[in-house]
A and B are shown apart, each in its own frame.
Chain A
Amino acid sequence: MKEKRRLNYWKNEYIGRILVTFCGLLIVITTLSIIAFICGKGIQSFTENGISLKEMLFSTEWKPSDSHPKYGAVIFIVGSMLVSIGAVLLSTPIAIALAIFMNFISPKFGSAVLKPVLELLVGIPSVVYGWLGVTLLIPLLREWFGGVGFSLLAGIIVLSIMILPTITSIASDALSGVPFSYLEASYGLGSTRWQAISRVIVPAARTGILTGIVLGLARAFGEALAVQMVIGNTVKLPSGLYSPTATLTGILTMDMSNTINGTAWNNALWTLAMILLFISFFFIVLIRMIGQRGER
């Protein structure tokens, strides 16, 4: 009898528990193996092809098909940085304004119209954004500024629309987390709505807003196809906003299949993937640090 009860309990509790524990562990295993695989492959350009770390990180020359090949990743790192930072600079003010609108100006309209609009903006696939960039934005830029149109500026504009929902939703959460008493106290002191928002609410929510900005930056950094479609992909440092350049993700999408596995060129590309991975780690650390500072 006791045996049977134990068996029943085992059946009713442990099988399920083991299964879900396995699912939890699977996440850990997958994450670790991604890191191991990418780093294992990315490090080969240093160990097997003798490319120096200094050249990779500080040289602006990327000439993998030359007779004296050069593998400097600076152009791609700088290109990725400029395009993401530009997108964040363009997107953040609009995102914060939207978050304020949804929480304080017109919450009803915000939740009935703006929220679904932002959800749809998130849902639009990145290739469609890229396609919109190529068919709408590029001709427009060409008309205004002349030239080819494919440029850093085009990348920034496309990306800023893509990361707008990310920043907005996190900033909105942060703003709605500010205690209502703050607003009341501010009104009680005779401030207008704008004064209360700009001097009390937004400063009180700045940690959350900052987290949103960093997440937006991380998303912009990792975005591949939409940027690759509009940025021009010329391997040189941009001379200005309206000049084409290349990004880490762009060069990876284009060149990985053109190179033969095991060659120095191919290994150098894997190193670029590893750099991309490390940069995304950096953003996680940054977000954690902001979160900890906010708790204090």
Chain B
Amino acid sequence: MTSRVVDKVWTSIFYVIAAFVISLLIFFFVTVLSKGWGFWQPDFLFGKPSNTQAGGGVGPQLINSLYMLVITLLISVPLGLGAGIYLAEYAKQGRMLNFIRLCIETMASLPSIVVGLFGLLAFVTLTGWGYTLIGGALAITILNLPGLTRICENAILDVPSSIKEGSLALGATRWQTLVKVILPSALPQIMTGVILAAGRIFGEAAALIYTAGLTTPLLNFAADLSSKAHPLNVFRPAETLTVHIWKLNSEGIVPDAKIIAAKSAAILVIMVLLFNITARFASAALQRYFTGNRRRTTKKKMSNVA
């Protein structure tokens, strides 16, 4: 075989592998959606789960997943942003910075089950809260903090230094420069990262088994906020959708466990798809907004070109 033929053969092998991976993803989505067909029915989305009879829903689990996502983002985004700002703007090169980076690396590579077990020690036993939603949110915060920190740091570092120097030259302090100049122009990148992180938070399960628990009390909006029955009380056990799938698979005794698991998986996959698409659009839209190219001007430009 001449080297040209070898080249052709390898090129086609690369095409085959790329096609294989793409079709694998499509196959996964088709399978999940077809097996979980009908997941949008209100009876399933908002219905109460049943332990013994078929036909139960995943209402509480879905509420828990979404609420957990909100609480986790409320905790982890400010912390990640702060740490990212510190690393990008204030930290001095040296031993301390090296140590912080080592800690971030360590944290990023922790197996999620280990973080869950730490949560069991710190947020469940030590605080005496028992299995709580807030404990789960804190555990996922630990899992996502390194990633968010890195996203924020990179976004800030990517802002051209001329912008920063201009602001400093006008007499602004570093903090003022940061808040009024750098952060707005870093925002598109940060937003994209946060939305993608949200997808990961939504899909996390291993860290939640021992922190947020495997049960949900009967939820009732009429109950007192301090009672465990109130959906917005963060100090209550909260089984999320992901944990629910795992539980159904390992110890589900409901006759339709398989269908419930399939439909829940379909919901999760749809959410992942939504997060990814939103991240794409949000970054494009914010980019347009902050660079001043709003739609009207773009249109004008387009017509000029034409």
Q: Report yes or no: A34 in contact with B118, Cβ–Cβ below 8 A.
A: yes
A34–B113 CB distance below 8 A: no
Stretch at the interface among B47-55, B86-94, B294-302: B86-94
* A289 close to B (CB within 8 Å): no
Query: Is A57 close to B, CB under 8 A?
Result: no
Q: Which of A20, A194, A221 has the most CB of B within 10 A?
A: A20
Q: How far is the CB of B278 from chain A (nearest CB, A)?
A: 12
Q: Does A171 reach chain B (CB closer than 8 Å)?
A: no
Rounded to whole angstroms, the CA-CA distance of A280 and B275 in the bound complex is: 29
Closest to A116 in B: B276
Nearest residue, chain B, Cβ from A22: B82
A111-135, CB under 8 A of B: which get 1 and which 0?
A: 0011011111111111110111011
Contacts of B78 in A (CB 8 A): 23
Interface: A195 (CB within 8 A): yes
CB within 8 Å of A: which B105-127 residues = 105-107, 109-115, 117-118, 120-122, 125
Q: Is the CB of B176 within 8 A of A276?
A: no
Q: Which residue of B lies closest to A96 (CB)?
A: B17
* A residues in contact with B87, CB < 8 Å: 24
Encode B58-102 as 1/0 by CB contact (under 8 A) with A: 000000000000000000001111110111011100000001101
- Asked if B14 is at the interface (CB within 8 A of a chain A CB), the reply is yes
Whether the Cβ atoms of A284 and B109 lie closer than 8 Å is: yes
B140-173 CB mask vs A (1 if < 8 Å, else 0) is 0010011001000000000000000000000001
Asked whether any CB of chain B lies closer than 8 Å to the CB of A237, the reply is no
A277 B114 Cβ-Cβ under 8 A = yes
Q: Is the CB of A125 within 8 A of B276?
A: no
Is B103 an interface residue, CB under 8 A from the partner?
Answer: yes
In the bound assembly, the distance between CA atoms of A136 and B85 in angstroms comes to: 45
Could you say which of B83, B176, B206 contacts A249, with CB atoms under 8 Å apart? B206
* CB pair A37 B121 closer than 8 Å: yes
B305 CB contacts on chain A under 8 angstroms: none
Contact A41 B121 (CB under 8 A): yes
Q: In the complex, what's the smallest C-beta–C-beta distance from A160 to chain B, in angstroms? A: 11
Given A27-B83, A27-B100, CB of A128 within 8 Å of CB of B107: no
- With A20-B90, A224-B113, A229-B249 already in contact, the answer to whether A33 and B122 are too (CB < 8 A) is yes
Which parts of A130-145 form the interface with B (CB within 8 Å)?
130-132, 134-136
Residue A88 CB within 8 A of the other chain? no
Q: Dominant SS at the B interface?
A: helix
Q: Are B11 and A194 in contact (CB under 8 A)?
A: yes
A239 within 8 A of B: no
Instruction: Please tell me if the beta carbons of A128 and B175 are within 8 angstroms of each other in the complex.
Output: no
Shortest CB–CB separation between residue A172 and chain B, in angstroms?
A: 12
How distant is the Cα of A164 from the Cα of B149 in the complex, in angstroms? Answer: 24
- Docked Cα-Cα span, A101 to B292, in Å, equals 36
- Give the segment of B38-46, B197-205, B216-224, B225-233 that binds chain A: B197-205
Determine which residue in A97, A98, A124, A127 has the highest number of CB atoms from chain B within 10 A of its CB, and name it. Answer: A127
Q: How far is the CA of A224 from the CA of B14 in the complex (A)?
A: 32
Pairwise interchain contact A253-B206, C-beta atoms closer than 8 A: yes
Chain A nearest CB from B239 CB (Å) reads: 12
Indicate whether A283 reaches chain B with its CB closer than 8 angstroms: yes
- Asked if A121 contacts B106 (CB within 8 A), the reply is no
Would you list which residues of chain A between 17 and 75 have a CB under 8 Å from chain B? 17, 19-24, 26-28, 30-34, 37-38, 41
Q: Are B111 and A253 in contact (CB under 8 A)?
A: no
Pair B205/A125 contact, Cβ less than 8 Å: yes
B83 touches A24 (CB 8 A): yes
Q: Is the CB of B17 within 8 A of A97?
A: yes
A192 and B146 contacting across the interface, CB-CB below 8 Å: no
Query: Please, could you name 8 A-B residue pairs with CB atoms under 8 Å apart, sorted by A?
Result: A16-B175, A23-B80, A106-B18, A114-B22, A127-B265, A229-B246, A276-B114, A277-B111
The 10 lowest CB-CB distance pairs between A and B, nearest first, are A222-B111, A125-B203, A23-B82, A24-B86, A192-B7, A16-B175, A20-B86, A224-B206, A31-B103, A23-B83
B contacts, CB < 8 Å to A: 3-4, 6-7, 10-11, 13-15, 17-18, 20-22, 24-25, 28, 31-32, 35, 78-83, 85-87, 89-91, 99-100, 102-107, 109-115, 117-118, 120-122, 125, 142, 145-146, 149, 173-176, 178-179, 196, 199-200, 202-206, 209-210, 214, 242-243, 245-246, 249-250, 258, 261-262, 265, 268-269, 272-273, 275-276, 280
Further pairs besides A124-B28, A134-B249, A161-B24: 6, Cβ < 8 Å: A27-B107, A27-B146, A33-B118, A34-B107, A135-B262, A257-B209
